[in-house]
Amino acid sequence: MPYSNENDPKLPVNVRAMNKKDRRQWVHIFNSVLAAEIEKGHKMEDCETLAYTEANGVLKKEHEA
């Protein structure tokens, strides 16, 4: 399910704990990956898993740098 914005109450707990800038970026990445995977015809559950993993990975790499 795509998220409406960085203040969406349905965001995962770990994302809600992020600052606003990081939440906004996470939502953008998640929604973009989700849409791309749905367009490829994958199952929704698989699309959501990949989108979650990608969004978390990008932010983790940014904070490690």
The pair of structure tokens assigned to 44 is 């929704």
Where along the chain do its domains lie? 13-64
Task: Give the pLDDT of the chain (65 residues) as one tens digit per residue.
Answer: 799 999 999 999 999 999 999 999 999 999 999 999 999 999 999 999 999 999 999 999 988 97
**Distances from the Cα of 16 to the Cα of 13, 37, 42, 44, 62, angstroms:** 5, 24, 27, 22, 18
The residue among 54, 62, 59, 61 whose CA lies nearest residue 17 is 59
Query: pTM for the full model?
Result: 0.94
C-alpha–C-alpha distance, residues 14 and 9, integer Å: 12
